[in-house]
């Protein structure tokens, strides 16, 4: 979230899209409903199915799964055509006025630079025009035909209301209601929030769906202001923390680019040149020379100019004394990924299926239920030599080799059926402690890092994750102890000091490393501005720097703070002394935008939602939130989007920001019941297709399927299907089907049905409901059904995993699987 959960109470209008917030983020509704109660805020829910969120919304608008960009593209057009955008904001805080290179273009669904062989783009034309000083050229009148604003207008010219509704299947009247209600937040005294979740991201155009949100919110002037923002509701309590710690393969902790095996990453200097925006153009042969250039104001890379400090401090945290100026701070110890390889979930399981992977640690995940194309992923596990499962329960993945794991409702020659004695994988199970049985922090969806104290002792032999990994680290190190081989140095030299004086793991030592310390005295680094690239500081994750502080002879770990008094004078619910938010305890990012460009005048009529203001006398920004711009940069210099080289919100995403285009464009899902009428490409041209032979076509599989969760269960259900009280509430795998489709197929409510795709078949109980309705797509009636993806063969509530049906295809940028839109058929069991 750019904002945070409590902040939802400050909104005038919420667009919930691709999210079933009421069910999957119940607490978000507490604050959103307060906005309705206290500010008369409107709640809009856009979803293929009427859910418990729709029941609490003022406007519900259905849309066919996978057509979000058409929906939002039409909104962008509406905002521009009807001049609903927040003009002063757009001009001052976005790149709308920037001129784009003449080489950039878009035709027939393809942006300039496309290579059909590689299914990828050369992004060099997706860039600004620069003046002789290397600064982008702008047209503040927004009239120049090459300015971002005009290009945007031109791009979405095709997205008129009728065309959009033909694609999305949204009734025109409803669509207009949504457009009107949400674009009203473009008024300077209004803000609107967008809440989204996996219904947006789990598509072949997932990242571009989010980009479309960003454009809408920048046009309406809703970023960086209370009650606004683009708010990803994270699906697990600590998934934000996991991402901060580099859950994703292309980054290392703190969202730093992970080094590759390419020549441009061969040593620390090469890496810094590559990873620091703009540095490639500069001449420097040592870190010292680079530092001098930075001191002189080069390159123009926004806040990422600090990449060298983050990286060197990280290397110091990992290899301690063995990382020094003479050996490139042990950069050569750091594992390098193959620049040409993809290591995302799908790719990993494809490689496993080919027999390329020997062993696997599975913790906090259950791919036999949760992975896409779960039949294939289950088979892939059988090709491992060994697998370590760390979980609270012997879940479906831990027990993938047992008899029930291979039972299927119908025989299907394409689906493997193994027997336990065909499987040679050796499975180790380590029982893990539950969240209340261990200590540590969880970083919630609003980036608040909150400490949790242990509430109960772990059951039986189960252990906290830290204990497990600390033991693993220590034992691996002891196996290598005494080795003098240089290739073993990354392990022998690894700094691994997480034990207290009694030899027990000490979580505060981990915290101290993550938050950063001065090498000389071991005291916390007070904020990431103090990190250095000369080896004097160590920091395991720069975005957490500042969470630990030293005051009056005491170390204070801020995630443990529990002051539940709202420090905001206007009652905006910042609660800045409750826990700590990254970065630097900033509760609302881009908050420079909460006040008009001059830094002193509030947006007209919106005095109460000002977060920071420029204090001329003090020569700094002051306010209830931590400012998100140079603290002492005067208003005309204080950039609102400091992570960007141009310092502006990007309506046009330049160069490498996106793999599949500077503007979001509508493409159909990989499996779609209809051809794309918006342009000539059916599928996102930059998406990798893993299994072309597994693409279902509408002649055999005419029905759209989507997957989702219900409030009663959580993720793959390991945690909840093992709790009798929750199993009682949602006892079986079920599929929601419209009354119209049920009639067509002779399906009775409460009876069993078989759902099939090219990947497999599952059995489920039919829930025939008025809340799903067929869509009218280009004049044709198209059905959509919805499947819960919580179920497996273990626990009190059991059922077939929906993911036996889902495809191995994902977003062009992130490779997140397209769980949310695929084709199926359904029949009575």
Partner 1 sequence: MANLTNLYDVSKCTACRGCMVACKDWNQLPAVIEPFKGNYDTHGGDTNGDTFTVVRFIEGEDPVDGVFWNFLKYQCMHCFYPACMKVCPQGAYSKTEWGATFHDPEKCIGCQYCTYACPFMIPKYRKREDKISKCTLCVDRVEEGLTPACARTCPTGALKFGDREELLAEAEERVKFLQANGFPRATIYGRVELGGLNKLYVLTDSPDKFGLPVDPKVPGQISFWQNWVQPYFGWLIPVALAGSAVSFVTTRILANKNGDHTEGGHE
Per rule CB under 8 A, is residue 732 in the interface with partner 1?
yes
Tell how far CA 103 is from the center of its chain.
Answer: 31
Please tell me what DSSP assigns to residue 259. P
Number of residues that bind partner 1 (CB under 8 A): 43
Per rule CB under 8 A, is residue 22 in the interface with partner 1?
yes
**Closest CB to partner 1 among 41 and 220?**
41
DSSP string, 445-505: TTSEEEEE---SPPSTT-B-HHHHHHHHHHHHHHHHTT---GGGHHHHT-----B-TTS-B
Least distance (Å) between residue 45 CB and partner 1: 12
Least distance (Å) between residue 131 CB and partner 1: 53
Per rule CB under 8 A, is residue 176 in the interface with partner 1?
no
- Give strand pairing partners of 194: 15, 230
Cβ atoms of residues 524 and 580 within 8 Å: no
> Residue holding tokens 């703070």?
561
Q: Which helix (H) or strand (E) holds 175?
A: helix 172-183
**Closest CB to partner 1 among 305 and 719?**
719
Per rule CB under 8 A, is residue 475 in the interface with partner 1?
no
* Residue in 349, 359, 427 with CA at minimum distance from that of residue 391: 427
Least distance (Å) between residue 751 CB and partner 1: 8
For the segment 792-821, give every residue that binds partner 1 (CB under 8 A): 796-797
Site string for partner 1, 683-712 (x = CB under 8 A): ----------------------------xx
Among 45, 771, 790, 794, binds partner 1 (CB under 8 A): 771
What are φ and ψ of residue 230, in 5° steps?
Answer: -110, 110
Per rule CB under 8 A, is residue 54 in the interface with partner 1?
yes
Among 362, 719, 767, 815, binds partner 1 (CB under 8 A): 767
Cβ atoms of residues 822 and 669 within 8 Å: yes
Per rule CB under 8 A, is residue 282 in the interface with partner 1?
no
Per rule CB under 8 A, is residue 727 in the interface with partner 1?
yes
Among 17, 60, 211, 670, binds partner 1 (CB under 8 A): 60
Per rule CB under 8 A, is residue 72 in the interface with partner 1?
no
Pairwise CA distance, residues 402 & 396, whole Å = 9
Among 92, 432, 734, 753, binds partner 1 (CB under 8 A): 734
Which residues, at least 6 apart from 446, have a Cβ–Cβ distance to it below 8 Å? 1, 3, 4, 5, 6, 7, 581, 587
Among 8, 29, 123, 581, binds partner 1 (CB under 8 A): 29
Per rule CB under 8 A, is residue 181 in the interface with partner 1?
no
Per rule CB under 8 A, is residue 178 in the interface with partner 1?
no
Per rule CB under 8 A, is residue 50 in the interface with partner 1?
yes
Per rule CB under 8 A, is residue 769 in the interface with partner 1?
yes
Please give the C-alpha separations between residue 351 and each of 115, 355, 690, in angstroms, as whole numbers: 25, 6, 11
Per rule CB under 8 A, is residue 571 in the interface with partner 1?
no
Per rule CB under 8 A, is residue 135 in the interface with partner 1?
no
- Give strand pairing partners of 465: none
Per rule CB under 8 A, is residue 554 in the interface with partner 1?
no
**Closest CB to partner 1 among 174 and 408?**
174
**Closest CB to partner 1 among 237 and 681?**
237
Least distance (Å) between residue 33 CB and partner 1: 5
Cβ atoms of residues 300 and 279 within 8 Å: no
Per rule CB under 8 A, is residue 355 in the interface with partner 1?
no
**Closest CB to partner 1 among 274 and 713?**
713
Q: Which helix (H) or strand (E) holds 443?
A: strand 440-443
**Closest CB to partner 1 among 665 and 712?**
712
Least distance (Å) between residue 59 CB and partner 1: 10
Please give the C-alpha separations between residue 99 and each of 155, 157, 220, 654, 697, in angstroms, as whole numbers: 15, 19, 21, 11, 42
Least distance (Å) between residue 719 CB and partner 1: 13
Among 511, 726, 787, 823, binds partner 1 (CB under 8 A): 726
Cβ atoms of residues 451 and 441 within 8 Å: yes
Phi-psi region of 320 (alpha: psi -120 to 50; beta: other; left: phi over 0): left
Per rule CB under 8 A, is residue 768 in the interface with partner 1?
yes
DSSP string, 533-556: SSSSEE-S-GGGTTSEEEETTEEE
Per rule CB under 8 A, is residue 724 in the interface with partner 1?
yes
At how many degrees (to 10) do helices 148-155 and 68-81 cross? 120
Q: Is 406 exposed, middle or buried (0-12, 13-18, 19+ CB in 10 A)?
A: buried
Per rule CB under 8 A, is residue 14 in the interface with partner 1?
no
Residue 776, classed as helix, strand or coil, is: strand
- Give strand pairing partners of 389: 362, 429
**Closest CB to partner 1 among 17 and 766?**
766
Among 278, 602, 702, 731, binds partner 1 (CB under 8 A): 731
Per rule CB under 8 A, is residue 10 in the interface with partner 1?
no
Least distance (Å) between residue 58 CB and partner 1: 7
Per rule CB under 8 A, is residue 745 in the interface with partner 1?
no
Among 56, 332, 383, 608, binds partner 1 (CB under 8 A): 56
Q: Any idea what the Cα angle at residue 187 is, between residues 43 and 194, rounded to 5°?
A: 35
Per rule CB under 8 A, is residue 53 in the interface with partner 1?
yes
Per rule CB under 8 A, is residue 749 in the interface with partner 1?
yes
Least distance (Å) between residue 773 CB and partner 1: 8
Per rule CB under 8 A, is residue 397 in the interface with partner 1?
no
Per rule CB under 8 A, is residue 722 in the interface with partner 1?
no
Q: Which stretch binds partner 1 (CB under 8 A): 98-106, 116-124, 543-551, 743-751?
A: 743-751
Pairwise CA distance, residues 538 & 30, whole Å = 40
Pairwise CA distance, residues 329 & 316, whole Å = 7
Which residues, at least 6 apart from 714, have a Cβ–Cβ distance to it below 8 Å? 720, 790
**Closest CB to partner 1 among 29 and 352?**
29
Question: What distance, in Å, lies between the first and last C-alpha atoms of the chain?
Answer: 43
Pairwise CA distance, residues 739 & 200, whole Å = 26
Task: By CB under 8 A, name the binding residues for partner 1.
Answer: 22-23, 26-27, 29-30, 33-34, 37, 40, 50, 52-56, 58, 60, 711-712, 724-732, 734, 749-751, 765-771, 773, 796-797
């Amino acid at each position: 979230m750019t904002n945070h959960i409590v902040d939802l109470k400050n909104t005038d209008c919420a667009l919930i899209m691709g999210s079933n917030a009421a069910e999957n983020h119940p607490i978000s509704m507490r604050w959103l409903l307060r906005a309705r109660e206290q500010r008369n805020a409107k709640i809009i829910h856009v979803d293929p199915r009427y859910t418990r969120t729709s029941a609490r919304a003022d406007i519900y608008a259905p849309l066919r799964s996978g057509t979000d960009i058409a929906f939002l593209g039409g909104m962008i057009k509406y905002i521009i055509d009807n001049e609903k955008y927040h003009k002063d904001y757009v001009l001052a805080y976005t790149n709308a006025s920037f001129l784009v290179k003449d080489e950039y273009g878009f035709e027939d669904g393809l942006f300039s630079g496309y290579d059909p062989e590689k299914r990828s783009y050369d992004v060099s034309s997706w860039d600004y025009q620069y003046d002789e000083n290397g600064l982008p050229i702008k047209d503040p009148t927004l009239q120049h035909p090459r300015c971002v604003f005009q290009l945007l207008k031109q791009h979405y010219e095709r997205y008129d209301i009728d065309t959009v509704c033909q694609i999305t299947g949204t009734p025109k009247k409803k669509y207009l209601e949504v457009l009107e209600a949400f674009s009203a937040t473009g008024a300077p005294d209004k803000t609107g929030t967008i809440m989204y979740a996996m219904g947006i991201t789990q598509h072949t155009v997932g990242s571009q769906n989010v980009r479309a949100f960003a454009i809408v919110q920048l046009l309406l002037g809703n970023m960086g202001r209370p009650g606004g923002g683009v708010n990803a509701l994270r699906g697990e309590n600590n998934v934000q923390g996991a991402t901060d710690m580099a859950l994703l393969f292309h980054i290392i902790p703190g969202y730093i680019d992970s080094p590759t095996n390419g020549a441009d990453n061969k040593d620390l200097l090469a890496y810094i040149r590559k990873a620091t925006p703009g540095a490639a153009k500069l001449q420097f042969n040592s870190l010292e020379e680079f530092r001098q250039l930075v001191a002189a104001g080069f390159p123009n890379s926004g806040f990422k100019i600090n990449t060298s400090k983050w990286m060197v401090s990280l290397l110091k945290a990992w290899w301690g004394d063995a990382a020094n100026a003479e050996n490139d701070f042990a950069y050569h110890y750091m594992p390098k990924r193959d620049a040409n390889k993809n290591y995302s979930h799908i790719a990993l399981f494809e490689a496993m299926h080919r027999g390329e992977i020997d062993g696997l640690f599975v913790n906090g995940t259950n791919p036999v239920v949760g992975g896409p194309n779960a039949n294939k992923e289950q088979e892939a596990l059988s090709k491992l030599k060994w697998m370590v499962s760390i979980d609270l329960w012997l879940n479906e993945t831990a027990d993938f080799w047992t008899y029930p794991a291979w039972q299927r409702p119908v025989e299907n020659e394409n689906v493997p059926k193994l027997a336990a004695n065909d499987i040679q994988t050796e499975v180790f199970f380590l029982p893990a402690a539950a969240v209340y049985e261990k200590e540590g922090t969880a970083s919630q969806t609003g980036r608040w890092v909150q400490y949790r104290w242990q509430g109960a002792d772990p059951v039986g032999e189960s252990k906290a994750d830290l204990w497990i990994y600390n033991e693993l680290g220590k034992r691996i190190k002891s196996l290598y102890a005494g080795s003098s081989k240089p290739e073993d140095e990354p392990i022998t030299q690894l700094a691994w000091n997480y034990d207290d004086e009694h030899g027990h793991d000490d979580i505060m030592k981990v915290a101290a490393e993550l938050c950063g310390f001065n090498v000389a005295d071991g005291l916390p680094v007070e904020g990431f501005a103090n990190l250095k690239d000369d080896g004097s500081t160590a920091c395991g994750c720069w975005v957490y720097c500042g969470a630990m502080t030293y005051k009056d002879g005491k170390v204070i770990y801020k995630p443990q703070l529990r002051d539940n008094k709202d420090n905001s004078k206007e009652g905006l619910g910042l609660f800045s002394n409750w826990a700590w938010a990254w970065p630097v305890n900033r509760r609302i990012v881009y908050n420079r935008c909460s006040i008009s460009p001059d830094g002193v005048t509030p947006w007209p009529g919106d005095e109460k939602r000002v977060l920071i203001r420029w204090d001329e006398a003090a020569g700094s920004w002051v306010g209830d939130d931590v400012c998100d711009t140079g603290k002492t940069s005067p208003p005309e210099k204080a950039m609102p989007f400091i992570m960007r080289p141009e310092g502006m919100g990007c309506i046009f995403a330049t160069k490498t920001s996106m793999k599949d285009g500077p503007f979001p464009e509508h493409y159909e899902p990989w499996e779609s019941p209809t051809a794309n009428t918006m342009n000539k490409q059916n599928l996102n041209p930059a998406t990798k297709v893993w299994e072309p032979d597994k693409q279902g076509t509408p002649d055999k599989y005419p029905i759209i399927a989507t997957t989702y969760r219900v409030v009663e269960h959580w993720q793959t259900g390991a945690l909840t299907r093992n709790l009798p009280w929750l199993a009682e509430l949602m006892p079986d795998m079920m599929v929601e089907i419209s009354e119209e489709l049920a009639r067509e197929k002779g399906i009775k409510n409460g009876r069993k049905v078989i759902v099939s795709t090219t990947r497999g078949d599952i059995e489920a109980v039919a829930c025939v409901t008025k809340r799903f309705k067929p869509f009218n797509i280009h004049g044709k009636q198209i059905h959509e059904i919805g499947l819960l993806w919580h179920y497996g063969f273990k626990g009190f509530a059991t059922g077939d995993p929906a993911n036996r049906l889902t495809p191995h295809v994902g977003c062009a940028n992130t490779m997140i699987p397209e769980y949310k839109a695929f084709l199926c058929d359904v029949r009575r069991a």
